[in-house]
């Protein structure tokens, strides 16, 4: 780490530590991730000796590998976004994927959270997360403007159907699940994906398109870099291309 930054590790901030861990993870892709684990253990020991508990705590915990999430390819995402009959449902799916939102974050979105001039979407903190701003794509902005003009939402950006009391209530996670289920049956895929799969696809596609994983961590609202690092095992990256021996078996 000292050679990498040309600076003593005790003087580095958490962002620099995260950057170095990402460098190690990206440089040494082994089945056991042994190099990465030993790097983390070594840094923990170093910061313990230097009596820097804050930096020791900031290092990722090494957990047993969880199941990898389901990710849609871009062809499947395009088909999914075009599948709903109603514009409102298409725009909702577009926001889920285009901003990488959790379902409850989509339910909480207000009209005031969309800034078309600055091209941002504001996501307020919940469940221990922090507030964050997300980029608003031009394609999604056009869809949102058309939806707002047609449906005239007042406070929340998306509403469920009018209830028996005549009031309009914010969309629910159950309603989002229903939209995903209905749309899933209309596209050519066998993947059993959920609304959260669009969030996983968002992160994976950004990584494959060349975005730095530290930036993706901020966009996802992750507290710890190791949560974002799972996408390194999913993304098809040019510097870690994977192929079958059948691809080269008959090559001269």
- Domain ranges in the chain are 1-62, 74-203
Q: Which of 47, 147, 159, 231 is catalytic?
A: 231
Residue 89 designated active-site: no
Q: Sign of dihedral through CA atoms 59, 65, 68, 69?
A: negative
Residue 192 designated active-site: no
Write down how long the chain is.
Answer: 252
CA distances from 158 to 90, 103, 125 (A): 12, 12, 18
Residue 222 designated active-site: yes
Q: Which of 64, 127, 242, 252 is catalytic?
A: 127
The pLDDT, as a whole number, for residue 57 is 44
The pLDDT, as a whole number, for residue 164 is 65
Q: Which of 89, 199, 200, 217 is catalytic?
A: 199
Q: Which of 25, 55, 88, 102 is catalytic?
A: 102
**Per-residue pLDDT tens digits of the chain, which is 252 residues long:** 777 777 777 777 776 777 777 667 666 554 445 566 667 777 777 777 777 766 554 555 545 456 789 999 999 999 999 999 999 999 999 999 999 999 999 999 999 999 999 999 999 887 656 899 999 999 999 999 999 999 999 899 999 866 666 677 899 999 999 999 999 999 999 999 999 999 999 999 999 999 999 999 999 999 888 889 889 888 888 766 677 787 777 876
Residue 199 designated active-site: yes
What global pTM score does this model have?
A: 0.71
Q: Which of 119, 132, 184, 222 is catalytic?
A: 222
Under CATH, which architecture does the 74-203 domain have? Orthogonal Bundle (1.10)
The pLDDT, as a whole number, for residue 31 is 43
The pLDDT, as a whole number, for residue 167 is 75
The pLDDT, as a whole number, for residue 169 is 85
């Amino acid at each position: 780490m000292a050679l990498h930054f040309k600076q003593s590790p005790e003087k580095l901030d958490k962002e620099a530590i995260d950057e170095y861990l990402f460098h190690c993870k990206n440089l040494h892709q082994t089945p056991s991730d042994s190099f990465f684990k030993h790097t983390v253990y070594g840094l923990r020991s170093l910061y313990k000796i230097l009596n820097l508990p804050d930096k020791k705590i900031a290092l990722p915990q090494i957990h047993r590998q969880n199941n990898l999430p389901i990710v849609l390819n871009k062809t499947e995402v395009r088909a999914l976004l075009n599948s709903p009959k109603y514009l409102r449902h298409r725009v909702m799916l577009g926001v889920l994927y285009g901003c990488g939102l959790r379902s409850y974050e989509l339910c909480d979105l207000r009209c005031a959270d969309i800034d078309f001039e600055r091209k941002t979407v504001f996501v307020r903190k919940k469940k221990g997360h922090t507030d964050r701003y997300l980029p608003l794509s031009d394609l999604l902005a056009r869809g949102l403007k058309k939806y707002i003009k047609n449906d005239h939402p007042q406070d929340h950006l998306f509403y469920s159907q009018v209830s028996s009391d005549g009031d309009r209530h914010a969309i629910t996670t159950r309603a989002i699940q229903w939209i995903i289920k209905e749309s899933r049956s209309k596209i050519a895929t066998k993947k059993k994906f959920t609304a959260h799969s669009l969030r996983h696809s968002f992160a994976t596609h950004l990584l494959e398109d060349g975005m730095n994983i530290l930036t993706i961590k901020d966009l996802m609202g992750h507290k710890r870099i190791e949560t974002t690092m799972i996408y390194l095992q999913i993304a098809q990256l040019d510097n870690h291309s994977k192929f079958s021996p059948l691809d080269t078996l008959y090559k001269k």
